[in-house]
Amino acid sequence: MIIDIEAQKDTSSIKRLIRRGIYYVSRMISEQYGTEFFNDEYEKIKKVISIWICPSTAKYKANSIVQWRSITEPVYGGFKIDEEASDLMRVIIVNLEDESKRDKTENQIIRLLSVYLSDEKTPEEKKKILEKEFDIEMTEEMEKEVREMYSMSQALKDKTWQEASIRFATNLLKDAKPISYVAKMTELSEDAVRSTSEGLKKTAKD
């Protein structure tokens, strides 16, 4: 069995998400040729499971786990194929807790992942919950990992905020608003706004 676990940020379209998942596990199957099996040794193909963890989802999808899998169903007659023979691909989507319903899910898997991957709880809060609710002793290595993840999520937040502020500043500059005004409205430094303004002028010349 080959298991892939990853985080997914863009979950706006279920149709696109599921089809991307099917495409992904299909490639995981085809990539086994030449390593796990050769020529027509298809019985040696390993089952593939891709688990997608979605930290930020719409309220109606939050606190849920769904899966797609490949199975064979009889259409006519009494012949039936063993499910294990055809159940080779699975995509499991884990939608974590909704921000407005934190700490209220009854599913322990969702709760555990929501705490561990939260970008709002501090490392100290995470440690306390994991030890108290899940009886997980935080080793030095785990604590280090939790702190690194927290720092990374905060950096991502800052980057996202900065990108949004620059887009807002760009629109204000296009409306010929003064640099001091744009800086005040976007909370960017005047140097950053000035740099954005110069970039706009250069683009216009090109």
Mean pLDDT of 88-96: 91
Q: Which residues, 6+ apart, have CB-to-CB distance to 94 below 8 Å?
A: 51, 52, 53, 54, 65, 109, 110, 113
Mean pLDDT of 184-205: 81
- Spatial separation of the C-alpha atoms in residues 124 and 146, rounded to whole Å: 9
- The mean of the pLDDT values for the chain is 81
Whole-prediction pTM: 0.63
pLDDT at 123 over 70: yes
Other Cβ atoms within 10 Å of 4 Cβ, number: 13
Helix 190-205 × helix 140-174 angle, to 10°: 60
Of residues 12 and 136, more confidently modeled:
136
For residue 85, is it left (φ>0), alpha (ψ between -120 and 50) or beta?
alpha
Mean pLDDT of 5-10: 78
- Spatial separation of the C-alpha atoms in residues 66 and 45, rounded to whole Å: 24
Read off the pLDDT band of 45 (50, 70, 90).
Answer: very high
Read off the pLDDT band of 26 (50, 70, 90).
Answer: very high
Q: Say what the pLDDT of residue 155 is.
A: 57
